[in-house]
Every structure is written in C-alpha cells, then in structure tokens.
Chains A and B, each alone.
Chain A
Amino acid sequence: MTADTTLDLLDNDPVFHLKGGMLTMTVVELVRLSHDHFARQLAEKVEQAPNFFVDTPVVIALDKLTDPINAAGLTKLLATCREHSLQPVALRGGEDFRALAQSAGMVLIPVGRQREKIIEAPAPQPTPEPVTSAPPAAAMPSGGRLITEPVRSGQQVYARGGDLIVMAPVSAGAELLADGHIHVYGPLRGRALAGVQGNTEARIFCQNLEAELVSIAGQYKVAEDLRKEQHWKQAVHISLAGDSLKISAL
C-alpha cells in the first residue's frame, strides 16, 4: 500500500467546525479628537502594563466622539495604536461610520447592548451580603443543570447560561463550570469555576470546601491558598469582592 496522495472528495471528515464564541475585547472609546493628546495618553497607559497591550485586539469606539473624524484622521489614529502594538480590528459606531470603516478595511460593529467595564478601575462592587441559596428546583433559569450522580475525576460538567447544582460528591480531578452560580451539596474536592463568561456576580456555594481550585469570573484561588483559610472543609459561600475572592461561612 502506498500513501494515498489523491484528494478523496467523498471523504466526509469535516475540515472545519462553525462555533459560536464570546471574546472579551478592549474598547478604545474616543471622547474627543486630539492626536497629540491621544498619542501621549496611550503611551502612558501602555507604559503602565506593557505586556497587557502586546498584540491586543482593540475596538475603536466612535459613538461617544463629539468631534468629526475623517479618513485621514482615522488612519493616523490607527497608526498610533499600532505603534504601541495594539491591533485595531473594528470600529464601533452608527451607520454613518460605515464608509469610514470600509475605507480603513475595518469591520463596523453597531452600538449595542454590550456589557462594559472600565479596565484597571473596577466599578465598585456591591458589598456581598450573605445569600441563602434558593431551593434547587425553584427559579432555576433556563440552561441551569442539576446533577445527582457523583462527578468523578476527569469528568467535566458545564452549565451553559445558568446555574449548576450538584447533589453528590465532586472528586479531585473533576471540573465544574457554570455561567451562573455553582452549588455543591456534598464534598467539593475538584475544581469549581463560576461565572466563566465573566459574570462577576456569580457565586459558589458548597457544604464542604476541599476544592483544588475555585474561580469566579476568572479570579481564582488554588487549594494551597484555600487550605490556609479558616473555612477549609466547612460549608462556605464564595463571592467576588473587588478583584479577589471572598470566602465566608454559610
């Protein structure tokens, strides 16, 4: 048998998959147009966190801009961004910016309902109050998942778009993911990641905290740190306070 060199057109193995995904993008929201000020302020920002800005895709938002902008002005702006290794990929604004976007070879993103937060100055978090977990069956949003069997090492459970409720042990090496809250009625020895799409209000509730890792909206703590908490092996609820996890007794 020689290697098959002809392209078999009947081969049905997919070459690609179409998938939906959500990406977090940095938005450069222009307030007024002043190239000198823009260049200087951008340079200052980049200096504060050089690694953060390396090849970062950014969206240039023009919808809050009060001054008029033309193609030449935009070109200059984009050049300044690229000098600081930002990668502008799209413009955000109303339909009147479409021609401008096309001239610069950019995509135009309509002004929508995007959730935004200002980077490096997190919005003040509401002080977390002790929340009593609602009975599992009640008010479960669509997309929530209820698991009654043990989640074993190597298994992964994801509640897309909702809460995850596990009424069994979660073993070391298992992974729980939810866009909303995570409740575990049993020992939690694996990983629990709540608010994986960035929901900073998500929380983790468990009867026995022995987790390898807990995370809310990307902020995490590993077992080594969790062990030092006074609540290790106890019933706790975990919430995000500012940019660190707050663990309190249930």
Chain B
Amino acid sequence: MAKIIVVTSGKGGVGKTTTSAAIGTGLALRGYKTVIVDFDVGLRNLDLIMGCERRVVYDFVNVINGDSNLNQTLIKDKRSDNLFILPASQTRDKDALTPEGVERVLNELKETFDYIVCDSPAGIEKGAHLAMYFADEAVVVTNPEVSSVRDSDRMLGLLASKSKHAEAGEKIKEHLLLTRYNPERVENGEMLSVSDVEDILSIPLLGVIPESQAVLKASNQGVPVIMDDKSDAGQAYADAVERLLGKDMPHRFLELQKKGLLQRLFGGR
C-alpha cells in the first residue's frame, strides 16, 4: 500500500526541499519505489536540489490539466532506478492546482510507487494545504528557533483539522525533524534545544540534522545530501529514514563534540 508523506513546515527556508530530496532518495536507496512531488508551483526548486533541472519537459500542472501523462512527465533519477521526480511548474502559480486534479494524480502515482513524498511550499495557503491534504504521514521540518517552532505548531494544528484523514476522524502520523541544529549555540543559550522544541510541539522526534557545510555544498551540486555519507548531515538523514521505516536508532549529533586535531583535519566521524 503506497504511503503519502508530506514534508511541511509553515515557515520558509527551514529545509523542506533539502529534506524531501534526502528522505525520497534514502527511501529509494533502500529499495522502495519512490516519487518526490514538488508542490511549490511558481517557485520550483526540487529539480535543482535533485540535479535534474536540465531534463524538465513537462510538469505537475501539465499532468493536472491533461496536457501530458505521468510517463512523459516523471523524471527518472540518474542515481537510483527506484527514484522519480515530479517537478512543479515554474510559470504558473498555486491556483493552477485543484483538489480534484491533485487527488487524481496522487491516486495514479499510488498504483506504481511505494512512497510518494510531497514537498510542500511555505505558508498555509492553497499550495501547502493541497500538499498535506492527502497525506498519510507528515514530516514537520523545524529550525531550533521560536518563529519556526510556532509556525510548525500552526501547521500541526492544520494537519489535525484540515486534512483528508482528519476529516474522516483519523490521525495523520506526525514526525518532528529538527534541522540546522548547532549544539554549540544551544550550549551558549543562543538556540532552542531539542527538548525545548519537543516540549512545545509534543510529537515524536524523527531526527536532528546538524547545521552543516555539506548541505549547502550538496544543494549547489544538485546531489541530495543523504548521498554524502561522510558528512554528519548525510548520516543524520540516513538515520531519520531508518526511523521513518520503523527502525529504532539512537539520536546522534546532539552533543557538542570536542574535536581533536586529526578530526579537525579529516572531518566527519
């Protein structure tokens, strides 16, 4: 049975697309047939992060309007046979998405894929609403910072009231993913700690992604950061994917590491 996972946050710039790319790639690398759908119509980014921007012909809005079919539109990832990307349209806006159209496309994707990862746009308007409406599970991406936490809280409220499962009286499975975490700044009291955020949002913690140079580098190279298994961020995303699949993994990168000279030179762990 195909699962629809929405990656959402409310606030922009917290790492939704990076997370969608990492989790989608991670699931595919573990043998699940996965498609990542970019819901950010008008501000298409997923194709860049996935490094497939030069192969976009048709897009999500074309499929909804019936201008193209899924076979023509889905872009196959070069790194994994199990991974596909459904890019957003850059020339249209969120109004081009209709609930009926989105539902039809998702139902069609469900026939072939194990996981459908929906990369939500920022905000709580139409695009974000449609991205989460049909979801079975939600990954709420949050930065350890008060405004991001409040927006995530708002998003959790919407997930619990304005989604298809909620309207049927069921619950969406919620996961908290804390990104851009910097243990040093937490120790100095400049950043909220994991327990602060867990306390406010009170949902299970899927993972903590440390703030890392590797993320920006990966984005600019168009390689999902999870492929960089030498980096702390890549390893943290890999752990998060395992937890998403139900495996119990200890959380890493929460404590400040006193780095020795060799570690400074060679990095990683």
Contacts and interface: CB of A to CB of B under 8 A. Distances in A.
Interface of A: 149-155, 168-169, 171-174, 187, 189
B202 to A, nearest CB: 5
B150 A155 contact: no
Interface string B41-75: 00000000000000000000000000000000000
B150 A173 contact: yes
B264 to A, nearest CB: 40
Contacts of B202: 150, 168-169
Contacts of B260: none
CB-CB nearest 6 A-B residue pairs:
A152-B157, A153-B153, A153-B154, A154-B154, A155-B157, A171-B153
Interface string B138-178: 00000000000011011011101100000000000000000
B105 interface: no
Contacts of B200: 169, 171-172, 189
Nearest to A150: B202
Contacts of B154: 152-154, 173
16 contacts: A150-B202, A152-B153, A152-B160, A153-B154, A154-B154, A154-B158, A155-B157, A168-B202, A169-B202, A171-B153, A171-B200, A172-B150, A173-B150, A173-B154, A187-B199, A189-B200
A168 B157 CA distance: 13
A169 B153 CA distance: 11
Given A152-B154, A172-B150, 11 more contacts: A150-B156, A152-B156, A152-B160, A154-B158, A168-B202, A169-B200, A169-B202, A171-B157, A173-B150, A173-B153, A173-B154
A153 B161 contact: no
A154 B161 CA distance: 11
Nearest to A156: B157
A172 to B, nearest CB: 6
Contacts of A155: 157, 161
Give chain B's interface residue range (CB within 8 Å of chain A): 10 to 19
A149 B156 CA distance: 11
Given A169-B202, A171-B200, A149 B153 contact: no
A155 B157 CA distance: 7
Contacts of A171: 150, 153, 157, 200
A152 B202 CA distance: 10
Given A169-B202, A171-B200, A149 B160 contact: yes
Contacts of A151: 157
A172 B160 CA distance: 17
> Which of A152, A168, A171 has its CB near the most chain B CB atoms (within 10 A)?
A152
Contacts of B157: 151-155, 171, 174
Contacts of B153: 152-153, 171-173
A35 to B, nearest CB: 59
Nearest to A172: B150
A174 to B, nearest CB: 8
B192 to A, nearest CB: 13
A84 B156 CA distance: 52
A113 B258 CA distance: 74
Nearest to B203: A150
A150 B155 CA distance: 12
A60 B158 CA distance: 48
Contacts of A174: 157
B160 to A, nearest CB: 6
B150 A153 contact: yes
A184 to B, nearest CB: 14
Contacts of A150: 156, 160, 202
A151 B202 CA distance: 11
Nearest to A186: B202
Contacts of B199: 187
A152 B149 CA distance: 11
